[in-house]
A and B are shown apart, each in its own frame.
Chain A
Amino acid sequence: MADLGRMIATKQVSPVEVVRVHLDRIAALDPKLRAFITVCADAALESGRAAEADLMAGKAVGPLHGVPWAPKDLYSTKGIRTTGGSKILADSVPSDDATVVARLARAGAILLGKLNMHEFAYGPEGVNAHYGDTRNPWSAEAHRIAGGSSSGSGVAVAAGLAPGSLGSDTGGSIRIPASLCGITGLKPTYGRVSRAGGLPLAWSMDHVGPMARSARDCALMLGAIAGYDPADPTTSVLPVPDYGAALTGDVRGLRVGLLRAHFTDVAAADVRAAVEAAAKRLEQAGAVVDEVNLTQVTHVATASAAIVASEALAYHAPWMRSRPQDYQPDVRERLRVGAFVNGAHYVRSQQIRAFLTREIDEVLARRDVLLAPATPLAAPVLGERETMLGDGPSDVRAALLRCTRPFNFSGHPACAAPCGFTAGGLPIGLQVVGRPFDEATVLRVVDAYQRLTDWHTRRPAAA
């Protein structure tokens, strides 16, 4: 996105041509990849022509002027249907843009369409019974999942159908598809980016963030969308720093903690090796790396499930009473389970949440960032139910969520980025976790790593 924006601003390429190239790619590849639910070809070309006219008239433009992007289809878009990946909202056309959509439009970015997702964002596999299952572009033969819930975002960016996207992340829904699709995805601190105009999964755990090819591109998008929004009472009034200026490429002296138990140590062997190699690479670049464990993290899965199930059912209860048959089966079953979590369970889970948050804060008081796998496994085959991790067999769904949801629980910023490939050619994702509202350091570390490696520049053959 940064490169495209620069080329557009200096009139090396026309925004109309950039839009047209992406629309051509969507037409050619998306029937198989299923990344898009809605393509807005005419509107995108119209926006491209307007962007070009502004340039030719000599108007001042920002770094995203004329750059195409596409959001997960749970962000409201004025006049464009917003389905949440559901049958229930298949014909829902909002009258306003979500705050983040409006902010990117103001920055000059051009919306190509709306992206596929796990129905109502309630699943880490990224499958969808209504609009088709996305296909991971890194696997030519087997149909492997893209990861979710922001599956279309992961596929679109990886396959070059859109240079950038916005995902949402309640248990890992930005970082899981980023990991499985070999792209970069940032879950900012809770409160850093407005959720207004996005469909909720669980209000207290939902985060909005960018998905793109590099930390630099994520920094560009984050700068455009971050900041206080009166429409979202959880947004912070803290000023938004210049994230691009933080990308110095220098990690000398930064204190990096490699998360061992529950994270790196239980990952599949090739994932573990790649994450350890990434830590070594940062150490060679001058970071001070040590190893660390979180004592309460094993309880996150249960407590997080109780909180998400309760909040999700609270939102979906009217439809679960009136039209349960319109949900895809796995989502309907997860929502039903929420009916049996009581108030005491919910509050107890929030106690665990406070305890873990405090523990992560204490660990980060002595370190600048933490490292872990983004996912402890590479992309599973569609329908695969069980996988083998370092500590034995695991349910695929639980495995996908294992390394990411502790930081939804705590609200810390966390970024997934490619750090290698399996022997079978599937991407492996690294996760960098930072202090609250210190996305700048998280992005600085990922960017420095991306200057030292080329994993993030590789493209799937299908693209």
Chain B
Amino acid sequence: MLARMEISVESLRRAAALGGFAWTDAELEAIRPAVQRLLESLEQLEHLPLGDVEPTTQYRVL
């Protein structure tokens, strides 16, 4: 998975470009550690035994 590898500025640049964002290498380098940490944490969520819990799509509207 993406989070297992060291994330490079190059990979961030390509992903950001897909979203329509043209950020400089310096700007991407500044957020690279935070992105790395978040993606590694998100990867851990994949291993939780959530079974068939449906995602929240409605917020207690009564």
Contact = CB atoms under 8 A, between A and B. Distances in A.
Interface string A215-244: 000000000000000000111111000000
B24 to A, nearest CB: 10
Contacts of A233: 61
Contacts of B57: 350
B6 to A, nearest CB: 14
A189 to B, nearest CB: 7
A53 interface: no
Contacts of A321: 20-22
A190 B45 contact: no
Interface in A318-357: 320-321, 324, 333, 336-337, 339-341, 345, 347-355, 357
A299 B12 contact: no
A331 to B, nearest CB: 12
B55 A350 contact: yes
A352 B48 contact: yes
Contacts of A237: 62
A59 B23 CA distance: 60
Contacts of A234: 59, 61
Interface residues on B, range: 20 to 34
Interface in A346-399: 347-355, 357-358
Contact of A337 (B35, B44, B46, B59): B35
8 A-B pairs closest in CB distance: A350-B55, A302-B41, A353-B56, A354-B56, A350-B56, A351-B55, A236-B62, A345-B42
A411 B42 CA distance: 22
A357 B30 contact: no
Contact of B50 (A235, A306, A341, A355): A355
25 contacts: A190-B60, A191-B61, A236-B61, A237-B62, A238-B62, A302-B38, A321-B20, A321-B21, A324-B23, A336-B16, A336-B23, A336-B27, A337-B35, A340-B15, A340-B16, A348-B42, A351-B50, A351-B53, A351-B56, A352-B50, A354-B53, A354-B54, A358-B53, A411-B60, A436-B60
Interface string B2-34: 000000000010011001111100010011001
A190 B31 CA distance: 31
Contacts of A191: 59-62
Contacts of B22: 321
B38 A337 contact: yes
B62 A437 contact: yes
Contacts of A107: none
A303 interface: yes
A317 interface: yes
Contacts of A38: none
A305 interface: yes
Given A320-B21, A340-B35, A303 B56 contact: no
